[in-house]
Amino acid sequence: MTFPFEFKEPPPPRKKHGVRNFFIVVSALLVVAIAVGGIYLMNLSSTFDSAKKIEVEEVFPEETTRPATAVNASQNILLMGTDTRGEVSDDINDVKGTRSDTMMVVHISAARDSVHIMSIMRDSWVDIPGHGKAKMNAALAFGGVPLAVQTIEGMIGSRIDRVALVDFEGFKGITNALGGVEIDNPIAFDSSSIKGKHFELGLNTLNGEEALAFVRERYAFSDGDYQRARNQQIYIKGVLRKILSAETLTNPVTINNLVSSVAPYLTVDAEFTSAYAAGLGVELRNIRMDDMTFFTMPTLGTGMEGDQSVVYVDPEQMALIQQHFRDDTMSEYQVPPPPGG
């Protein structure tokens, strides 16, 4: 996934908070629903389709600007977090002018035996079509979801098949619906958003408010957004472990609560239906946590562009990733250590 004239970034309409990044969890919920099976699955599908905020068609750029459709059956899902506080309207283009602090590309292998989830740092300095070089999260502000998709397709050299956006209110809901999520925290820190809250080293059980603080924190770390991206991945692993536990799998009420908590805050492309997710769930029924790889898009470290602090993308590693995306060989990709790591 990679990326000449001077421009000024449009100011964000209001302060954006860190991270809304559990889109893969939505798919995971529906995968879990397959295990429940039967009539209950039909009821769950109805819950999802009736409750989700909106399906929209115009999320993709002009066809002439897009990479060719994959010759294999692999799929790429773009997951983005928005801080709209439940205010997204029926028009997905209403998010134009806002920023997305969370972007992930989920690559599902053609054999359905592996899932690779790549986080894209919001300050990555990339080529945004028609706007020159800018931070990755400016794409949504400049041209809405279609431009964000076009930018990321240029980075990964492959087509995005499905798109999902979620508001952070759903993020808190899913954590609380699970009765809390346990994470293994690698660095103890004091929260900058919850006064007096200290995240201990090691195992922590988070409620919705704490989970949001955990995944949005960056000021407490010397490497800022790098550790924030790692914490996002740690949280998602914790959610998936809880969802795939026997305690959740055998409790239809919990599963229904999960879907009901997320669906009203979810905006997807028109083909991202419960039927699509359920079909994908059948294909992914043998996937386990060990088959999922989380990593952050390779970078060369930080620097300044004018008065902006940016993250420089590693072009050599991105060329490799593009090839692996095209060939559906992501399982062969060796993730490099982070800068200075």
Q: Give the model confidence (pLDDT) of 231-255 as tens digits.
A: 888 988 888 788 777 677 677 777 7
Task: Report percent pLDDT > 90 for the chain.
Answer: 39
DSSP strand pairing (54-56 vs 266-269): parallel
Mean pLDDT of 154-170: 85
d(CA 205, CA 203): 7
In terms of average pLDDT, the best of 39-48, 156-165, 230-239 is: 156-165
Give Cα separations from 17 to 68, 166, 173 (angstroms).
35, 14, 17
Predicted TM-score of the model (pTM): 0.78
What pLDDT is stored for residue 323 in this prediction?
A: 97
Quickly count: other Cβ atoms within 10 Å of residue 200's Cβ: 9
Residue 56 has a pLDDT of 55
Q: What is the pLDDT of residue 314?
A: 97
Q: Convert the pLDDT of each residue in 79-105 to its tens digit.
A: 887 655 444 444 444 554 455 667 889
For position 49, what pLDDT does the model report? Answer: 61
Is residue 28 pLDDT above 80, yes or no?
no
Work out the average pLDDT over 1-15.
37
| The token pair that represents 285 in the structure block | 């029924």
Per DSSP, the three-state class of 2 is coil
Q: How far apart are CA 143 and CA 146, in angstroms?
A: 7
Q: Which of 47-61, 213-227, 263-277 has the lowest mean pLDDT?
A: 47-61
Q: Which two tokens stand for residue 115?
A: 């899932």
Residue 308: predicted pLDDT: 92
- From the candidate CATH numbers 3.50.50.60, 3.40.50.300, 3.40.50.261, 3.30.420.590, the one assigned to the domain spanning 23-178+251-327: 3.30.420.590
Cα separations in angstroms, 80 against 20, 22, 25, 119, 267: 7, 9, 13, 10, 10
Judge whether residue 199 has pLDDT over 90.
yes
- pLDDT at site 123: 92
Q: In whole angstroms, give the CA distance from residue 171 to residue 61.
A: 28
State how far the Cα of 299 lies from the Cα of 225, in Å rounded to an integer.
12
pLDDT beyond 60 at 10: no
| 31 pLDDT above the threshold of 60 | no
Dist. CA 7–CA 10, nearest whole Å: 9
Q: Which two tokens stand for residue 118?
A: 């790549």
Query: What is the number of other CB atoms lying within 10 angstroms of the CB of residue 171?
Result: 27
pLDDT value at 327 more than 70: yes
Rounded to an integer, what is the distance from CA 144 to the centroid of its chain? 17
> Are 320 and 313 within 8 A, CB to CB?
no
Average pLDDT, the chain: 78
In the chain, where the domains are located? 23-178+251-327
